[in-house]
Amino acid sequence: MKKNSNTLTFWLFLIPSLFIFINVVIIPFILGIIYSFTDWDGFSFFGSKFVAFSNYLKVFRDQNFLSAFLLTFKYAIIMVIVSNIIGFSLALLVTRKMRTRNILRSIFFMPNLIGGLILGFIWQFIFTKLFVQLGTVLHASNIFFNWINDPNMAFWSIVIVSAWQMSGYVMIIYIAGLESINPDIIEASLIDGAGPVRRLFNIILPLTVPSFTISLFITLSNSFKQYDTNLSLTNGGPYGTTELLTMNIVQTAYKHNQYAIAQSKAVVFFVVIMAITLVQVYLTKKREVEM
Amino acid sequence: MKKILSLLISTILIIALVTGCSSSNNSKTSQNGTASSQNSKITITVMQSKTEIQSDLQTIIDDYNKSQDKVEVKLLGTSGDNFATVLQSQFSASPEKAPTIFTIAGPDTPKFQPYMAEIKNSKAAEMLADGVKDDVTVDGKLYGLPSAVEGYGLIYNKNLFKEANIDPASITSIDALVNACEKLSKLNGVVKPIAFAKETYFSFIHPFNWAFAVDPNYKTDIEKLDKGQITMKDIPSVVQWIKDMDKIKPYTNKALDSYDDQVAGFASGKYAMIHQGDWVQSVLDQDKPNFEYGIIPFPTGGNTKLAVGTATAWRVNKYATPEQQKAAIEFLDWLITSDKGQEYSADTLKFIPAYKGVKAPKAPLAAEVAQYVDKGQIIPWVYNNYFPNGIDVDGSNVIQKYYAGLIKNDDQFLSELTNVWVQDAGK
């Protein structure tokens, strides 16, 4: 009797969220895969024809898609490195015994509370207006110019803004990891005469690998899915040089009206992200040590 | 006991959730049902894309509903920016329940073609101006009533022109424009004589439209272009347009400003001319510049006509009942042609009429555009119906490259334009 009522409560609690999950995630996902094999035009699905893999062939022949893919790879790799290094350093900084550490933690985390869209608009002002002013005032217009209008610097401006936003978030994860290290071990290493560098590489880093697993996963998948900052900061410009993958998919669907092809791109995108993150989680999991 | 209680509560909650959704649907349909059966009123729904006129339109519709007792017009919410997407989802769900009257114009129109009813027996249709008829005609049949037209060209600062001693009427060729730019650039405070905005429509679609609009055979030329039978090089007006762009490029801001910056720059006297349309009126009204301004055509190849097109057009849902369709056309006729409707259209909604002999709004730019329409000095917005989907993004990438100096000569410019065009048309 007791067991029965337990499973009943279990299902009663599960059903509402399961209902929502199935409706907004599972069903659209399956429908999306089906659409990607047809010539669906965004209107009624009835009447569209089955076209097998021709959408996927078109996707791989699309030069813009491939270059957006490469750019997204570059972006994701840089973002993972930059935001994790900054995030981890900040975490090391704010776990020291300082008076301002609580304030600093909230300050570093703050950018994450502002949406990426708004961050993009704020920074657009900085890059297009403030930088130009700085350039004229400091007579350094070779460093401070309108970054958004330069293809190379426009890409880096997205990296700066997103890294600024992302590192505060991973900092919190690293703080949790650092604070869960048993102080006895640190003390033991001090007694054994380990310097700060040795302590970092031989004690702290191996013990925070679980935090790295999570942080790397989050930064990797979030960077691949980057859309909002890209949209509000550069909108793919100048001349399409900063168009990341998600933006390319949106453009295909809503600008070129090729819903089925955009859907195929999304499926390809999903498979690639899934493969990469699974490999990453598998690799870092192997390095985790249990105390 | 506690467990049973919580179980009971959660079950009730779920039931309430599920039935809550369905019951509201039921009540809605029954309401409609009773409304039509009791006093035989026909209900039609309107959904339109301009958020800024939504509340004014509501008052106008309320007035119409009071003025007669046969038709009940209901204004549905609007979504502004992604209007076409929202409308599309309504039609893909069920065309019968989609709005009776909806607005659509421009590149999204062909998608909705299967859902549009032909406009017949309409008073407004007979008064439609010739230049804009093309925008709403498919295979010789009328499929919409333009709600308003908009015109664009070079909006110029009258004071600066006077200061530089230039007669705006004399700018009938690119050389005259270049001369004017030369004089204007010497004036104090003028940073660049001409400014374009960087958004895809402002940097590419609108300027490039001149190249086809001045071509009398643009329909056949574009058809051949789409099929790859000719390239941009074979269309003289396009070649001419590129030569003209080369001449004025040094005097422009290279399309680096956003729309807001461009208009603000014009209002502050930084730019003497901006390539824009009468829609900047609302922004200029806020900025309150201390000079007068007017609008002239872009004189590519000696052009003296303003580019005027349907900003958006009222369409009637083909899947609505015949009674609803008839009521919809009656309502549109009232809005466009009746005395009261004309007053509302011009003074409240500030629509520049697409119809002959209809009242025009008073704002300076709108009045000038309306004059061009009246005199028939207009050329069409070719891009509304003939440009391929996605060309706004791809084309603006090409023109930004051109401004950045990455395109070496006219031939490369022409071939890159041809490439993106054929690619977008072929997909």
Quote the ipTM score.
Answer: 0.71
A173 part of a folded domain: yes
**A16 inside 8 A of chain B by CB:** yes
CA distance B299 to A275: 56
Judging contacts by C-beta atoms under 8 Å, the chain A residues touching residue B396 are 239
* pLDDT over threshold 50, residue B35: no
Q: Each residue of B175-207: pLDDT tens digit?
A: 999 999 999 999 888 999 999 998 888 999 999
Between CA A228 and CA A235, with CA A233 as vertex, the angle to 5 degrees is 80
* pLDDT over threshold 50, residue B28: no
Fold of B41-149+310-374: D-Maltodextrin-Binding Protein; domain 2 (3.40.190)
The residue type of B150 is: E
Cβ-based neighbours of A192, under 8 Å, separated by 6 or more: none
**B270 inside 8 A of chain A by CB:** no
Determine, for residues B397 and A254 on separate chains, whether the beta-carbon distance falls below 8 Å. Answer: no
Nearest by CB to B393, from A15, A41, A251: name it.
A251
Q: pTM, whole model, 2 decimals?
A: 0.77
* CATH of range B151-307+381-426; options 3.40.190.10, 3.40.50.300, 3.30.70.100, 3.30.1330.40: 3.40.190.10
Exposure string over A165-181, b if 16+ CB within 10 A, otherwise e = bbbbbbbbbbbebbeee
A139 part of a folded domain: yes
Place of tokens 């509560």: B9
A253 part of a folded domain: yes
Task: Write down the pLDDT at residue A16.
Answer: 93
Place of tokens 């969220």: A17
Q: Each residue of B88-127: pLDDT tens digit?
A: 888 888 888 889 999 988 777 888 888 999 988 888 888 8
Looking at chain B, which residue has its C-alpha nearest residue A252? Answer: B390
Helix H or strand E encompassing B138: strand B137-138
* pLDDT over threshold 90, residue B385: no
Closest CA to B381 of B114, B109, B116: B109
* pLDDT over threshold 80, residue B386: yes
Determine, for residues B398 and A257 on separate chains, whether the beta-carbon distance falls below 8 Å. Answer: no
Q: Mutate which of A17, A257, A258, A261 to test chain B, going by most B C-beta atoms within 10 A?
A: A257
Task: Work out the end-to-end distance of chain A between its first and last CA atoms, rounded to an integer number of angstroms.
Answer: 40
- What's the number of domains chain A is made of? 1
Helix H or strand E encompassing B132: helix B130-133
Looking at chain A, which residue has its C-alpha nearest residue B89? Answer: A43
Task: Write down the pLDDT at residue A1.
Answer: 53
Determine, for residues B393 and A236 on separate chains, whether the beta-carbon distance falls below 8 Å. Answer: yes
Nearest by CB to B7, from A9, A237, A256: name it.
A9
CA distance B184 to B171: 13
Q: Which of A32-36, A138-142, B229-233, B410-414 has the lowest mean pLDDT?
A: A138-142
* pLDDT over threshold 80, residue B86: yes
Three-state DSSP at A267 gives: helix
A:B CB pairs within 8 Å:
59
- Token pair in block for residue A90: 């900040």
**Can you give the pLDDT of all 291 residues of chain A as single tens digits?**
566 778 888 889 999 999 999 999 999 999 999 989 988 877 777 777 888 888 899 899 888 899 999 999 999 999 999 999 999 999 999 988 888 888 999 999 998 888 888 988 999 889 988 988 888 888 888 888 888 888 888 999 999 999 999 999 999 999 999 998 888 888 888 888 888 888 888 888 888 888 998 899 999 989 999 999 999 998 887 888 899 999 999 988 888 888 889 999 999 999 999 999 899 888 888 887 766
Task: Write down the pLDDT at residue B311.
Answer: 79
Nearest by CB to A257, from B17, B111, B406: name it.
B111
Determine, for residues B424 and A237 on separate chains, whether the beta-carbon distance falls below 8 Å. Answer: no
Give the residue-averaged pLDDT of B209-219: 90
Residues B399 and B250: beta-carbon distance below 8 Å? no
Residues of chain B with CATH 3.40.190.10: 41-149+310-374, 151-307+381-426
CA distance B144 to A265: 35
CA distance B109 to B86: 14
Closest CA to A289 of A225, A232, A191, A207: A207
Judging contacts by C-beta atoms under 8 Å, the chain A residues touching residue B91 are 43
Task: Write down the pLDDT at residue B7.
Answer: 65
CA distance B331 to B328: 5
CATH number at residue A244: 1.10.3720.10
- Token pair in block for residue B225: 């272009």
CA distance A126 to A172: 27
Q: What is the span of the domain harbouring residue A233?
A: 62-287
A126 part of a folded domain: yes
Nearest by CB to B427, from A146, A251, A256: name it.
A256
